[in-house]
């Protein structure tokens, strides 16, 4: 009888712990002039050492430089030991798919925090139709460049509203 009541008490404690509402993480200011970007991707992605994370990192850096963003992009993978910042971009990558022959599809769930306010940009998609015989690395470079441009188009008005007024 004691075992049954102990198990019941243990189950109730587990249920109470599991149903507790998780608090939003405490967000801290990012270092001056830095836009933290957290990119997560599927674990165990097949391929070479140059991953989708690396490709998106390079493409975002390049787009930020071309558009003269007044911040430095600081990209982190998973970012398990870093604080949540008041201004931060989070991208959760899905695997690159080839839905129809000759076309790659990028999809990334994108969330932007600006001064602690969350902007859920939903899934950012970009399709790239490659040429027959085009090297896969070159196709992936173009795909992720297009994805970085599509992402920048969505976040730029929220991050740098004055930058668009100057154009």
Q: Which domains does the chain have, with CATH numbers?
A: 25-166 (3.30.160)
- Segment 104-154, tens digit of pLDDT: 999 999 999 999 999 999 999 999 999 988 998 899 999 999 999 999 999
CA nearest to 139, candidates 149, 129, 125, 148: 129
Integer Cα distance of 101 and 157 in angstroms: 35
pLDDT level of residue 6 (50, 70, 90 thresholds): low
What do you get for the CA distance between the two ends of the chain, in Å? 77
Tell me how far apart the alpha carbons of residues 37 and 42 are, in angstroms, rounded to a whole number: 17
- pLDDT level of residue 5 (50, 70, 90 thresholds): low
User: What's the pLDDT score for residue 88?
Assistant: 93
Structure tokens at 65: 């430089």
Strands 72-77 and 84-85, sheet pairing: unpaired
Q: Which two tokens stand for residue 18?
A: 């599991």
For 42, residues 6+ apart whose C-beta sits below 8 A from its C-beta are 93, 94, 95
Question: Beta 103-114 vs 117-129: how paired, if at all?
Answer: antiparallel
Position 92 scores a pLDDT of 92
């Amino acid at each position: 009888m004691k075992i049954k009541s102990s198990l019941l008490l243990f189950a109730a404690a587990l249920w109470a712990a599991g149903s507790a509402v998780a608090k939003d993480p405490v967000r801290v200011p990012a270092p001056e002039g830095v836009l933290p970007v957290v990119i997560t991707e599927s674990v165990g992605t097949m391929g070479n050492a140059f991953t989708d994370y690396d490709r998106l990192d390079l493409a975002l850096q390049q787009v930020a430089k071309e558009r003269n963003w007044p911040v430095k992009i600081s990209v982190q993978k998973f970012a398990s030991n870093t604080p949540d910042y008041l201004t931060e971009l989070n991208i959760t990558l899905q695997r690159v798919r080839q839905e129809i022959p000759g076309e790659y599809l990028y999809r990334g769930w994108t969330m932007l925090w600006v001064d602690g306010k969350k902007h859920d940009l939903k899934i950012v998609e970009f399709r790239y139709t490659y040429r027959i015989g085009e090297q896969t690395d070159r196709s992936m470079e173009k795909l992720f460049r297009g994805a970085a441009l599509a992402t920048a188009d969505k976040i730029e008005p929220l991050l740098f509203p004055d930058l668009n007024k100057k154009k």
